[in-house]
């Protein structure tokens, strides 16, 4: 039997998903780690932690499955996007990685808009300059740590540092590279003009590859460390959301990938580079060759429900919260929740946005609040769905993440968006997608589309029901919340010191 590995280097853990030749998930190894916040708004991580976790996760997956490492035919890479990994001439890491959730670079984002021009930046890269992206982080290091900056030889993303440790090769996938805002979206490669305007040395930027393309083979040292065979091909893979889209089968226009994890993501494939003129949606290359995607991101999705449970109902289980929410009618008797607990990204790129319950009365209790949290998150996801609908066709939603375990929440999302919702068969969509890309690159499937058709399992559709009209009215009121409260949010931020 042939097997394929998908390696997902996420923010909190590395997962190694072992898949057989038919696309079935056999085992998942996992190794956790933390990240550091040395100052307010900062988020950093040691790249060495990813490498040790990769070794542990691979060996764990092999043991769980009872499979010899020699049976693994190819490896696919995925992981957290946008992080900055700076490497010197001898392959040494020059400083801790600056992660996607680091917020220190607002000044650099403003400088990028001045240097390039906001409209030109969006037209070339598909995106506005936001603190989460890679390019502003590089400019921050140039300004604040010049001694480190002058020793840079390679600029990598987190998973691609792991790729380097596996293969000895410097390479990026096109989906991940387009999230640096140094990429020409239409050309599917580095933008020489953006790189030049930002003063970044083009020699630091590795070659980029389509998702199933082989970027190198396992070195003897890496093979010994992981228990795999020397020379095992490692394919490019994709950033976590692009790989997750492969893992749930969102590889052609019409199928929407929705992630209901700590954050919320709405992902739509396109067969051309489609750019939202105001930059309110991210536009990146897909991990599927010659495909692109649009993506809306809300920063606190299932994380909102976790906050609510931990803070307001700490002794309550999630199934009990489901039952409580189900006991309340749609609209939560006039209670709305603004899910901006971590600031917001789409459609309001505002780190100072705040969460709020609006409409509280003496008649409301924990049940009403639980339902309003679920509904507020669904409204936030609909914000992205509405923007995407102006640019491409919409069909069904393929949903993954911890929140997808709630049948109540699934029905709310179907009612709010007006789209049928299906749950996929694996909770590790990104790692599964990376494994499918590896299998495609190794020739087990003729295309990524065929791999998804063969391997992705989806449940029966949850269709919009009789509450859809109620939510259409409530969504109109919800849309007024942020514009009405923005000034108050920003004023309150001054007190949050």
Residue 103 has what pLDDT? 85
Q: Are residues 175 and 311 in the same domain?
A: no
Domain closes at, from 218, 238, 258: 238
Check residue 425 and give its pLDDT. Answer: 81
Q: Are residues 174 and 316 in the same domain?
A: no
φ/ψ of residue 284, rounded to 5: -130, 165
Q: What is the pLDDT of residue 74?
A: 98
Q: What pLDDT is recorded for position 476?
A: 96
What is the model's pLDDT at position 275? 93
pLDDT of residue 368: 98
> What does the alpha-carbon distance between residue 344 and residue 350 come to, in Å, rounded to a whole number?
5
Q: Domains in the chain: how many in total?
A: 2
pLDDT of residue 41: 82
Residue 262 is predicted with a pLDDT of 83
pTM over 0.85: yes
231 and 260 in a single domain? The answer is: no
Of the three residues 208, 238, 268, the one that is the final residue of a domain is 238
Question: Would you state the pLDDT for residue 305?
Answer: 95
**Could you list the residue range(s) of the whole structural domain that residue 187 is in?**
3-238
Residues 6+ apart with CB under 8 A from 150: none
Task: Pick the closest to residue 392 from 301, 273, 304 (CA basis).
Answer: 273
The reported pLDDT for the residue numbered 389 is 94
Domain check: are 52 and 197 in the same one? yes
Upstream peptide bond of 325 is cis (omega within 30 degrees of 0):
no
* Dihedral Cα 285, 287, 290, 292, nearest 10 deg: -40
Q: Where among 209, 238, 267 does a domain terminate?
A: 238
Strand partners, 111: none
Peptide bond into 451 cis (omega under 30): no
* CB 103, CB 50: distance < 8 Å: no
Same domain, residue pair 255 and 209: no
Please check whether residue 21 lies inside any domain of the structure. Answer: yes
Least Cα distance to 421 among 298, 248, 299 occurs for: 248
Task: Please report the pLDDT score of residue 401 as a whole number.
Answer: 85
Query: 199: which 2 tokens?
Result: 């003063």
What is the spatial distance between Cα 35 and Cα 42, in angstroms, rounded to a whole number?
10
Longest pairwise C-alpha distance within the chain:
68
Report how far residue 24's alpha carbon sits from residue 7's, in angstroms, rounded to the nearest whole number.
16
CATH number, position 409: 3.30.420.40
Catalytic residue among 20, 240, 415, 467: 240
Any domain includes 431: no
Residue 224 shares a structural domain with residue 361: no
144: left (phi over 0), alpha (psi -120 to 50) or beta: alpha
Q: Flag whether 432 is in a domain.
A: no
Low-confidence ranges of the chain (pLDDT < 50): none
Residues 377, 482 within the same domain? yes
C-alpha of 300 from chain center:
13
- Does residue 267 belong to any structural domain of this protein? yes
Residue 291 lies in a domain: yes
Residues 146 and 271 reside in one and the same domain: no
Whether 258 and 203 share a structural domain: no
Residue 257 and residue 219 share a domain: no
How many whole angstroms separate alpha carbon 145 and alpha carbon 94? 11
Same-domain pairing of 284 and 230: no
Instruction: Identify whether 149 is part of a domain.
Output: yes
CA distance 419 to 68: 44
Active site residue 271: no
CB atoms within 10 A of CB 68: 12
- Give the per-residue pLDDT at 497: 65
Of all helices (H) and strands (E), which one includes residue 399? strand 394-400
**Structural domain includes residue 435:** no
- Is the residue at 443 inside a domain? no
Chain position carrying tokens 């976590």: 240
Work out whether the CA dihedral 198, 204, 206, 207 comes out positive or negative: positive
pLDDT of residue 428: 87
Looking at the structure, do residues 147 and 277 belong to the same domain, yes or no? Answer: no
Rounded to 10°, the helix 366-389/407-417 angle is 40
- Give me 252's structure tokens: 């052609």
Neighbours of 43 (CB within 10 A): 20
Residue 299 CB partners (closer than 8 Å, separation 6+): 263, 340, 341, 342, 343, 344, 345
């Amino acid at each position: 039997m042939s097997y394929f590995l998908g390696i997902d280097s996420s923010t909190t853990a590395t997962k190694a998903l072992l898949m057989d030749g038919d696309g079935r998930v056999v085992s998942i190894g996992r190794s956790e780690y933390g990240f550091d916040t040395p100052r307010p708004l900062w988020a950093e991580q040691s790249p060495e932690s990813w490498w040790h976790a990769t070794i542990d996760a691979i060996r764990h997956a092999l043991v769980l499955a009872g499979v010899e490492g020699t049976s693994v035919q190819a490896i696919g890479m995925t992981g957290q996007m946008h992080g900055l990994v700076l490497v010197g001439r001898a392959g040494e890491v020059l400083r801790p990685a600056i992660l996607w959730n680091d917020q220190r670079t607002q000044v650099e984002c403003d400088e990028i808009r001045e240097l390039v021009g906001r409209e030109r930046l969006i037209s070339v890269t598909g995106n506005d300059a936001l603190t989460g992206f890679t390019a502003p982080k590089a400019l921050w290091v140039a300004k604040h740590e010049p001694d480190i900056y002058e020793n840079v030889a390679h600029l990598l993303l987190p998973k691609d540092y792991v790729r380097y440790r596996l293969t000895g090769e410097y390479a990026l996938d096109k989906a991940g590279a387009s999230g640096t805002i140094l990429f020409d979206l239409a050309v599917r490669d580095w933008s020489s003009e953006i790189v030049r305007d930002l003063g970044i040395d083009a020699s630091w930027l590795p070659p980029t590859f389509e998702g199933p393309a082989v970027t190198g083979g396992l070195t003897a040292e890496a093979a010994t460390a992981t228990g795999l065979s020397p020379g095992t091909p490692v394919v490019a893979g994709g950033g976590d959301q692009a790989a997750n889209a492969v893992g749930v089968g969102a590889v052609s226009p019409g199928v929407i990938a929705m992630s209901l994890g700590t954050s919320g993501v709405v992902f739509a494939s396109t067969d051309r580079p489609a750019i939202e003129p105001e930059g309110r949606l991210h536009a990146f290359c897909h991990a599927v060759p010659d495909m692109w995607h649009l993506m809306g991101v809300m920063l606190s999705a299932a994380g909102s429900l976790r906050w609510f449970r931990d803070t307001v109902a700490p002794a309550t289980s999630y199934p009990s919260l489901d039952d409580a929410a189900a006991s309340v009618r749609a609209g939560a008797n006039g209670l709305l929740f603004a899910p901006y607990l971590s600031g917001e990204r789409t459609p309001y790129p505002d780190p100072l946005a705040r969460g709020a319950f609006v409409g509280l009365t003496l008649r409301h209790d924990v049940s009403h609040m639980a339902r309003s949290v679920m509904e507020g998150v669904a409204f936030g996801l609909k914000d992205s769905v509405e923007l995407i609908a102006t640019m491409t066709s919409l069909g069904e939603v393929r949903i993954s993440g911890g929140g997808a375990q709630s049948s109540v929440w699934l029905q709310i999302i179907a009612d709010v968006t007006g789209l049928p919702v299906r749950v996929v068969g694996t909770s590790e969509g990104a790692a599964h997608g990376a494994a499918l890309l590896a299998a495609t690159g190794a020739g087990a499937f003729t295309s990524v589309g065929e791999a998804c058709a063969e391997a992705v399992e989806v449940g029966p559709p949850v269709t919009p029901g009789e509450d859809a009209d109620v939510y259409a009215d409530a969504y109109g009121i919800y849309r007024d919340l942020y514009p009405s409260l923005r000034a108050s949010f920003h004023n309150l931020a001054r007190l949050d010191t």
